[in-house]
Chain A
Amino acid sequence: MAELTYRDAVARGLAQEMARDPDVVMIGEDIGKAGGVFKATVGLYDQFGPQRVRDTPISEQAILGAAMGAAMTGLKPVAEIMFSDFIAVCFDYFANEFPKSRYMTNGQVKVPLVVRTGNGGSSRFGAQHSQSVENWCMMIPGLKVVAPSNPRDVVGLMAAAIRDPDPVVFFEHKSLYATKGEVPDGEIVDQLGVAKIVRPGADCTIVALALMVPRALAAAERLQSEHGINCEVIDVRSLVPLDTQTILGSISRTHRLFTVEENPRLCGWGAEIVSIAADECFYDLDGPPVRITTPHIPLPSADVLEDLAIPSVDRVTETVRKAMSA
């Protein structure tokens, strides 16, 4: 067992898979010699060499297109899009190329690639470098989407994503890179499509993702100690495939649903979960499902303003308390 930072866990997961399979290659801007702008790929260039960890020009479309061509013809590329906001620059590959090729070609073309990207705010990078855009990928049929919240899940889900034969978008959270967690030794391979109940409870279900998971947990602690409300917190981890069974099972026990989402309000990932719950769990709900999200605004740069936008522990606590006591 070792304590690793989230960013070291990224490198650890990549190294684990690259050591195992010579077809796993990496491509991205400044990922090789520089070890990544977030220092998430430090050491890999030295360990695996310039043929397997390749730096590119600033060409997001070329990066993803090349990853796809390589994946189609036998490699297992892991491409980096530095800031997830830049997904918009190369969106054609996410929307039209990766996810549709297998279907359109009646199963002939395979796209076993991973796109890793630095997602999320709270690091004061401003509106175009701080967005949470998992929902941009969740909505496209044919993609898979994961967003780990802790170092152990980073390793396990990275391995699962690389081994998955479908295109997987791996959202690393920029503000979690420095956080630490226990990671067991040895090979770790997790599963896509499995959510985790990170805090069992009885009074309500709080579903969260990535950075919002530690915030939800902190809020749950306060809700218990200050208000006697016993929350069950679920780390969704995987938006597609979605572990509805765990989430709906939880709701059938607690009868109340909250989501904590970093994305702006409209069409956030929680909207889909609330919709499924309102349908399948309608007769398990004892109150309206509540979404706690960033308001539907671009993110401001100043720290005080950004902290007002992204759901905070205070806001989560107060929102849940108020809804449960109504």
Chain B
Amino acid sequence: MEVLMPQLGETVAEGTIKKWFKTVGDKIAPGDNLFEIETDKVSMEVPAISAGVLSEIRVAEGAVAPVGAVVAMIGDAVIGGDGAAAQPVASSGAAAAPSKAPQKNTEKPKTESSKAEAPKADAIVDAKKSGPLKLDPYREVRSPERNFGPAQLSNGITATPLARRLAGEGNVNLTNVRGSGPRGRIVAADVHIALQSSSGRAAAGVSTGPSLAQVKALYKNVAHEEVALDGMRKVIATRLVEASQSIPAFYLSLDVRMDRLMVLREEINAGASKDKDGNATVKLSINDFVVKALALALKRVPAANAVWAEDRILRFQQSDVGVAVAVEGGLLTPVVRNADTKSVLAISAEMKDLGARARVRKLKPEEYQGGSSAVSNLGMHGIRQFTAIINPPHATILAVGASERRPVEMAGGVGMGGAGRERPFMPAGLQFATVMTVTLTCDHRVVDGALGAELLGEFKKLMEAPSAMLI
């Protein structure tokens, strides 16, 4: 495992090693400070990111090295040692793999700087290697851990393995890249061009923004706790960065008059029988209606009941609607299948079950994958309005705010109460009504403005005349 001179600032090309905190032979744990570097702007400590033994220091205190240069090696054992570390771990084969394999596929420094630091000839005679490899008899060669996709794209064009990896790491869609290799093959240079021309942002890697080292440098003197990312957090980070970078999204908001739905819901819930513990057997939430309304709306506007599939749109007959559920540390989006055909009651029961299991992370993958749209409801937190980020490959997502009493202009006349009873005559003018603001995020590749408006319009109709949802 190579220890590299880190990039401290945008314009910095090299750094001086001011001090080594460890010496060759020291055991290293991730997070241990290895050395301190100084550039013309700042000095900082560089921690280790892997465990092992510091097997070699290549750049001594006081020496300068370019960014990306190998300054030290962390290995399994000290090199040039007595070879006692070479005992193989034959039976526990799995243990031998992880420390070696991923290093080939993790981010490498930019190719420009790595070209500059190719080792000098004749530098090799002294023992310099990180100790003997812990060979596994059935895995003498370390295959890459990650697969970066097929050699041949859906359009018949091939891409070299390196090009595929660079595209995967840089979040570049290879179908949009022109290949300069033989028979139109996409080579690394082509992906580099695509990376540079995509929105002018730093294109290396999925994680954007300042590096760990840079951020930690900012908070060097502020007490903080480090929270490692669990699987869910990582997925959220990756997919939503990808979504926000690659989806051409636009947002449509409208207000829904909730009075009739509130009355209907109260009636249904009040009329529910009680079970043996005294709890109501039926307790519908607003969101249950929202899910049903959206599902029906998607049926009514089938062109919006679709997902984006790289170079085409897949359109569905059934309405599978995802519902965002807050869980500790993040959120999950279980999917209610065929929500258009299920009664609100069924949806409610299903949501209770899915929600409970989501909160204890007991969902199966098939329960939270797929769907063509989703609902995210922050109304219970008092949020008036917000925009949600689409879960790829969905074409839409509906962000639901709180139902609030707001002043509205009413036409005069007789209003309708529940159960067909007439309400007292309401004069024209400013009144209060229960209003809920919803915002539909649309992927412009699938759903254009008018289509999105149409979908939202149908949703509004169903919510405002909820009896249609009961049949």
Contacts and interface: CB of A to CB of B under 8 A. Distances in A.
Interface string B135-164: 000000111101010000000000011111
Contacts of B357: none
Contact of B115 (A202, A276, A286): A202
A199 interface: yes
Contacts of A194: 124-125, 127-129
Interface string A231-267: 0100000000001111010001101000000000000
A195 B115 CA distance: 20
B120 A287 contact: no
Given A194-B129, A284-B165, A326-B182, 5 more contacts: A197-B119, A244-B133, A245-B130, A255-B188, A285-B161
Given A245-B129, A255-B188, A286 B118 contact: no
B118 A283 contact: no
A241 to B, nearest CB: 8
A279 interface: yes
Interface in B59-104: 101, 104
A146 to B, nearest CB: 14
A196 B121 contact: yes
Given A199-B121, A253-B115, A276 B141 contact: yes
Residue with the greatest number of chain B CB neighbours at <10 A, chosen from A193, A244, A253 = A253
B125 A283 contact: no
B467 interface: no
B196 interface: no
A283 B188 CA distance: 11
Contacts of A126: none
Interface residues of B, number: 36
A190 interface: yes
Interface residues of A, number: 34
17 contacts: A156-B125, A194-B125, A194-B127, A197-B118, A200-B121, A246-B129, A275-B141, A279-B143, A280-B104, A280-B141, A280-B142, A283-B104, A283-B148, A286-B162, A286-B188, A287-B187, A326-B182
Given A243-B129, A286-B162, A280 B121 contact: no
Contacts of B141: 275-276, 279-280
A56 B127 CA distance: 37
Contacts of B142: 279-280
B108 interface: yes
A191 interface: yes
Contacts of B143: 279-280, 282
Given A194-B129, A196-B124, A280 B144 contact: yes
Interface in A63-115: none
A301 B165 CA distance: 48
B181 interface: yes
A326 B181 CA distance: 7
Contact of A190 (B111, B125, B144, B182): B125
Contact of A200 (B119, B161, B162): B119
A164 to B, nearest CB: 11
Contact of A195 (B104, B108, B124, B187): B124
Nearest to A243: B129
A279 B148 CA distance: 14
Given A196-B122, A202-B118, A286 B160 contact: yes
Interface of A: 156, 190-191, 193-202, 232, 243-246, 248, 252-253, 255, 275-276, 279-287, 326
B161 A197 contact: no
B23 interface: no
Contact of B160 (A156, A246, A275, A287): A287
Interface in B247-289: none
Given A232-B118, A253-B115, A283 B144 contact: yes
A283 B161 contact: yes
A200 B117 CA distance: 9
A199 B120 CA distance: 8
A257 to B, nearest CB: 12
A144 to B, nearest CB: 13
B106 to A, nearest CB: 11
A193 B125 CA distance: 11
A200 B164 CA distance: 26
B244 interface: no
Contact of A285 (B111, B146, B162): B162
Contacts of A197: 118-121, 123-124
B246 interface: no
Nearest to A190: B125
A326 B182 CA distance: 6
Contacts of A156: 125
B162 A284 contact: yes
